[in-house]
Amino acid sequence: MAAYVAETDFKRDTMYVPDRITRGARTPEHGPVDGELWPVEPGRYRLIAAKACPWANRSIIVRNLLGLEDVISLGMPGPVHDQRSWSFDLDPGGRDPVLGIERLQDAYFERFPHYDRGITVPAIVEVDSGRLVTNDFPWITHDLFHEWRDFHKEGAPDLWPEGLREEMDAVMERIYTEVNNGVYRCGFAGSQDAYDAAYDRLWTAMDWLEERLASRRYLMGEAITEADVRLFTTLARFDAVYHGHFKCNRQKLVELPNLWAYARDLYQTPGFGETIDFDQIKAHYYVVQNDINPSGIIPKGPAVEAWEEPVMR
């Protein structure tokens, strides 16, 4: 999960390790090149991504959709961590079975011995050296599509359709600022005024999405794109966490007919639903964020069976 800075108005720490993995370590056509370039090479890297974290969850989904499971291995930390790092407490012996480390911070320190920022997921680690390559989460999924396409499975979706990219960039920017980050802006608001403003911004965007999805199956039309992946991970956590824990409680997702049908549609699509673990999601937010939930009590609900109900869109 990306680090955050607690202030009256929530501000996310967006200083990530900006390295990119590209074909032949080439300079990519899109995006920043502020760090080192690493070559695409099957088996060289391990994606570390906790199911609990929405930012990491999107990288697991994209890896699944593109069929990269045998090309980039996946390590999954447990949902509850301390101030130091995500840890591999779900693995036998509490160590990642490939990297052999107990905490993700070990890979960060292998690359940067004095690293003093948040230890975040998703992260890509070079297997042989055990060094962090990058934790720049929006560019990780971008490059999984654009740079690893020689290894995509047959029939992999076009997550970045050429003719829609300009509009999609605008849609994804609004989703990120107003929804993905908007729920955190509500949850970590440090004053009533900051919360009220954040709440109004979030629900303005949710109403926009509800209207947009009234006339199309997916955000960009009739096919799944990266925009859908980015929205889905927030919607999957909405009723279980954000509605109550983050006080985003005007309505539940299940009370928004278009968004709820859309979210179930994606959940039932191979590559999406199997990445969602509601117990891990709730454990992470309700235990780790003890400034919001000091009791550490994890709610039992909501019931998850409704996600499997048939949907026609």
- Section 145-157 average pLDDT: 98
Enclosing H/E stretch for 256:
none
Report cis status (omega within 30 of 0) of the bond before 157.
no
pLDDT at 12: 64
Residue 10 has pLDDT above 80, yes or no: no
Three-state DSSP class for residue 267:
helix
Q: Which residues contact 274 (CB under 8 A, 6 or more apart)?
A: 64
Select from 151, 179, 209 the last residue of a domain: 151
Q: Domain limits at 303?
A: 164-308
Tens digits of residue pLDDT in 268-296: 999 999 999 999 999 999 999 999 999 99
Residue 55 has pLDDT above 60, yes or no: yes
Q: Are residues 79 and 124 in the same domain?
A: yes
Asked if residue 194 is part of any domain, the answer here is yes
CB 274 within 8 A of CB 284: no
Select from 111, 126, 151 the last residue of a domain: 151
Asked if residue 248 is part of any domain, the answer here is yes
CA distance 284 to 287: 6
Q: Are residues 93 and 122 in the same domain?
A: yes
Q: Are residues 235 and 258 in the same domain?
A: yes
- Percent of the chain past pLDDT 70, that is, above it, reads 96
pTM for the structure as a whole: 0.95
Q: Are residues 130 and 179 in the same domain?
A: no
Asked if residue 156 is part of any domain, the answer here is no
Interior/surface letters 106-142, b for 16+ CB within 10 angstroms, e for the rest? bbbbbbeeeeeebbbbbbbbbeeebebbbbbbbbbbb
Q: Please indicate whether residue 234 or residue 30 has the higher confidence score (pLDDT).
A: 234
Asked if residue 191 is part of any domain, the answer here is yes
Residue 64 has pLDDT above 60, yes or no: yes
Q: Are residues 109 and 194 in the same domain?
A: no
Asked if residue 313 is part of any domain, the answer here is no
How many distinct structural domains can be found in the chain?
Answer: 2
**What are the φ and ψ backbone dihedral angles of 293, each rounded to 5 degrees?**
-125, 75
CATH code for position 105 = 3.40.30.10
Q: Are residues 169 and 279 in the same domain?
A: yes
Asked if residue 220 is part of any domain, the answer here is yes
- Section 165-178 average pLDDT: 98
CA distance 290 to 30: 39
Q: Are residues 106 and 222 in the same domain?
A: no
Report cis status (omega within 30 of 0) of the bond before 270.
no
Asked if residue 157 is part of any domain, the answer here is no
Asked if residue 159 is part of any domain, the answer here is no
pLDDT at 1: 47
Q: Are residues 304 and 169 in the same domain?
A: yes
Enzyme catalytic residues: 53, 184
Residue 7 has pLDDT above 60, yes or no: no
